[in-house]
Structures are given as structure tokens and as C-alpha cells.
Amino acid sequence: MAFKFTKLSIPEVVLIESEKYEDSRGFFAELYQENKFKEFGIDKPVKQINLSKSSKGVLRGLHYQLNPFAQGKIVRVVAGSIFDVAVDLRKGSRFFGKWAGVNLKSENLSMLYIPEGFAHGFEVLSDTAEFEYLCTQTYSPQHERGIRYDDPSLNISWSSKTPVISEKDLKHPFLKDAEINF
């Protein structure tokens, strides 16, 4: 089976599309094949898998973990649709403070690869969405950090003007004040 890897506006953030084979019984698709992902430079082992379910208008993020527990992620929508965003936090990068985003839908099986050194967030566009994260590092509460979803310096094009945000996410600093060690 083939995978299509497409670099986004920040080339390290990659849209991954799988072939889907359908017939009268349903469909089949491969979602991961180590050697094909490695050929494209996605080669860190998965150490933790997370699943979340959210309602329309919920916005989660922008989350990241500091080194040495920085997480790369391969994310996908199991059910529903979302707008998914990665923000470059690598201080020496020409893309520092820039974001790349895509709509992900369960129907087309697309995934997004977000490497270490990026903040991640998403907004639910469907009535509900189930979202899966394959992480290259385990969760470490003492290394967990975040950036405000509405930071004006990022100017992210969220669809909702009044998203549902957790109290924790509302307390995150703007990028200029965030603790970053990438």
C-alpha cells in the first residue's frame, strides 16, 4: 500500500495520506508502516497513544512538553472532523512562531506528523470528534507547557470566535512569555 507524504508550509510538519481500499464489505487501509515512514524521516518510536473525544467548538491546545520530554506526534481523527494546528517553537528556526494547519476528517484517514519542538492544538468542527495521538515520548506533567490559542502574534485562523476552552488552557502565556527550550 502507498502513503503520500506532503510537507506543509513548515516543511517538518507533514500531512500523511493513506490509500483506502473499499468494497461491499467495507474498507481496509494501512495507517503505519515503519520502513515507509522512516524513508520520509519520521523515525522516532511511538511510546504512548492517547485518545480524546470532544464536542463541536471545543479547542484543545496549544500544548507541548519541554526537553528532555519533548513529544513528536502522529495525530488522526478516528471519528468526525477537526482543524489541526502545529506552531514552531524552535528558537533557531526560520519558522519560529509560525503555524501550519489542516482540516483532518475521519473519512479520508489523513494524519498529521508534528515533530518535537512544536506546540499542538485542534478545534472540533463536527458535532463530536474522537482524536488519536501517537506520541514519541511519554506524558510528563512537570515538563508540560502551553501557549494561548488566541495569541495575537500567532494569528491562527480558528473557525470559532467563541471556542470552548479549558480553564488550564486559558491560563497559558502568550508565546513571548512562554518557557521554551528547543
Catalytic residue selected from 63, 64, 113, 120: 63
Going from the N-terminus, what domains does the chain have, and what CATH number goes with each?
45-177 (2.60.120.10)
Q: How far apart are CA 86 and CA 147, in angstroms?
A: 11
Instruction: Specify the pLDDT at position 2.
Output: 85
Catalytic residue selected from 64, 113, 133, 149: 133
Instruction: Specify the pLDDT at position 124.
Output: 98
Task: Quickly list DSSP for 99-117.
Answer: EEEEEEEGGGT-EEEE-TT
Instruction: Specify the pLDDT at position 176.
Output: 98
Active site residue 133: yes
Instruction: Specify the pLDDT at position 1.
Output: 64
Return the closest-CA partner of residue 121 out of 52, 40, 69. Answer: 52
Q: How far apart are CA 131 and CA 173, in angstroms?
A: 25
Q: What is the mean pLDDT of each run of 10 residues along the chain (182 residues)?
A: 92 96 94 93 96 98 98 98 98 97 96 98 98 98 98 97 96 98 96
Residue with cell 491560563: 171
Active site residue 172: no
**Is the pTM here over 0.85, yes or no?**
yes
